Amino acid sequence: MDENRQTGSQNPGENQTFEQLTQDEKRKLIAALSMGRLSEDEKRELADAVRRSHLTDAERTQISRAFAMSRLSDEERRALLARRQQEKTGVVSSANGNAAAVQTNKPAEPAKEQELPPTAAVHDSEEERTRAHTVIGDETPGQGMTAGVRTQTEGEMLTRSVTLPVKKPSGGQHSGGTSRTADKQNRRYAGEPRETDTTAITSLLKGIVYIVAVLVISVFASWTVIEVANDVFAFVKSDEAVTVVIEEDMTSADVAQLLYTNGIIKYPTMYELFVRLKEESTDYLVGEYEISPSMNYGDLNDTFTYVANTKEQVVVTVPEGYTVDQIINLLLKNGIGTREGFVAAINDYEYTGYRFLEGLDDLDPQRTYRLEGYLFPDTYFFFKDSSEVAVIDKFLVNFERKVSEEYYERAEVLGMSMDDLIILASMIQAEGMTLTDFENISSVFHNRLANPRSFPKMQSDATLQYILDKRKSALTAADLQIDSRYNSYMYNGLPPGSICNPGMDAINCALYPAETNYYYFLADGKGNTYFSETNEQHEELKKIHIDSQ
């Protein structure tokens, strides 16, 4: 069970602010934070909620203290609380190592005169003794957990350690008084510490606690200052490049959050304060930027606002199912690169560091484009003066981010290489219109691949359309006789390469097809796809939806 749930704390939701919580929820949440019961993710969630809130000074102080407490280990936290309790409840160590503390809310009952201990406090009058009472402060998490013990009287209450002469009247009656000298001697004989000794020990303990508290606060303050300064000025930070996108109408708060989310800065509130105090420009320029944590706050803000150093960028959106030729035409239309440069970058340049390219060394000579299928469809920001290799590499970086280890493991279970998987996904993308189509079309291809004796050929129109100069609404008998490995009516199995660049839906459906007994499908050209288990059913559907038109 989540420890946070056991404590009953209520962390704000993704869009909830701290100020929207009730007072009781705030108190419980701060208490759980102080005692170290929140996970790191819950702390970050709370920190985000606090940054979106308008808090009072008291609430900010409470939360700051709670975060400081949460960084301590359980042993350090218990030790710190014990020292605070010792100071504030009046604990005094006795000579034999035992602690005595005043912890009562009731008026002290007057002891019998013959039973008064040597250090007992005696009030001047019965009335004052009756009026004296002890008040113990309430322990409230988030307010320093203050707990104090104080003794009050309604009038002036004289409290003093007294030693009166001890006299025994005739008849053995106690006189009610004791001698100061006898009292001191009695204490010595009883092995009790002198009053001055007890006071000295108490003062020493308080001094030690004070020094420790000062040292702890100083260390924490110094650490905080160093951390914040390192974040602002980037003294010792990683230089790993990160790509971020500045969108239209972003504010300094939006940019700060963007930098925090991408691990560039640790303190977004401090970034906002820096921009405000330094009167930095907040006219952020829309575009994609490559930055790193090693850049200080000023350099980061300048990168997003400085027009003189900003290259001209264009936004290019590549639809799912676009072929390499279509993507090249789209890039050329936006003034990026040349056709010859892109063809060379796609077929000849050796890109390193990509796992999915490791199996592309020995390709079928009839494969049209080596990287067909790997130019992931998405929205990109390109500089107009970018090289063709840099542009293609950006596509590959995006593909690498999308395809996780799970995809490789699943492909291995299916007995397929990553390239086979992408080829199949491209066929699904080109043949289908909807997600349901993708799932069922995938099942048809998987069923045929699993039963090559009965269904050796994929018989996909899309693979043959890929090599035609112009896409046709319907293939002719002459088209079916084209001698090409992309003609899946003539050659067995998968084509030699992908026939488009598929999106994530098609890739996922290639990995996880619907469970069917379908071996045939038919598209009517109107956006409808029909599936059959037998050739007889397939031919009947053709008569209804194709031949009758």
Write the pLDDT tens digit of every residue in 165-194.
344 444 444 444 444 444 544 444 445 555
Over 80: is that where the pLDDT of 5 sits? no
Over 60: is that where the pLDDT of 53 sits? yes
Phi, psi torsion values for 308, nearest 5 degrees: -60, -35
Residues 6 or more apart in contact with residue 83 via CB below 8 angstroms:
209, 212, 213
Average pLDDT, the chain: 78
Q: Give the least confident one: 68-82, 437-451, 522-536.
A: 68-82
Higher pLDDT, 215 or 234: 215
Over 50: is that where the pLDDT of 12 sits? yes
- Give the 3-state DSSP-derived string for 21-33, with helices as H, strands as E and coil as C: CCHHHHHHHHHHH
The pLDDT tens digits for 347-366 are: 999 999 999 998 787 889 99
Higher pLDDT, 343 or 215: 343
Higher pLDDT, 425 or 308: 425
Residue 196: per-residue pLDDT: 64
Q: Give the residue from 502, 467, 499, 498 showing the smallest Cα distance to 483.
A: 467
Query: At 14, is the pLDDT very low, low, confident or very high (cuts 50, 70, 90)?
Result: low
Read off the tokens for 235: 């003294």
Query: At 522, is the pLDDT very low, low, confident or very high (cuts 50, 70, 90)?
Result: very high
Q: What percent of the chain has pLDDT over 70?
A: 75
Residue 4: per-residue pLDDT: 40
Q: Give the residue from 300, 424, 313, 291 showing the smallest Cα distance to 379.
A: 313
Query: At 31, is the pLDDT very low, low, confident or very high (cuts 50, 70, 90)?
Result: confident
Mean pLDDT of 387-404: 94
Over 90: is that where the pLDDT of 516 sits? yes
What is the spatial distance between Cα 264 and Cα 462, in angstroms, rounded to a whole number? 45
Residue 149: per-residue pLDDT: 31
Higher pLDDT, 323 or 120: 323
Pairing state of beta strands 242-246 and 133-136? unpaired
Over 90: is that where the pLDDT of 203 sits? no
pTM recorded for the entire structure: 0.53
Residue 547: per-residue pLDDT: 75
Residue 417: per-residue pLDDT: 94
Residue 108: per-residue pLDDT: 42
Query: At 229, is the pLDDT very low, low, confident or very high (cuts 50, 70, 90)?
Result: confident
Over 50: is that where the pLDDT of 144 sits? no
Phi, psi torsion values for 538, nearest 5 degrees: -65, -45
What is the spatial distance between Cα 406 and Cα 211, in angstroms, rounded to a whole number? 55
Instruction: Give the residue carrying structure tokens 């000074």.
Output: 57
Over 50: is that where the pLDDT of 345 sits? yes
Residue 171: per-residue pLDDT: 43
Instruction: Please report how the helices 57-70 and 23-34 are oriented relative to each other, as an axis angle in degrees rounded to 10.
Output: 30
Query: At 89, is the pLDDT very low, low, confident or very high (cuts 50, 70, 90)?
Result: low
Instruction: Give the residue carrying structure tokens 């001697």.
Output: 185
Over 70: is that where the pLDDT of 3 sits? no
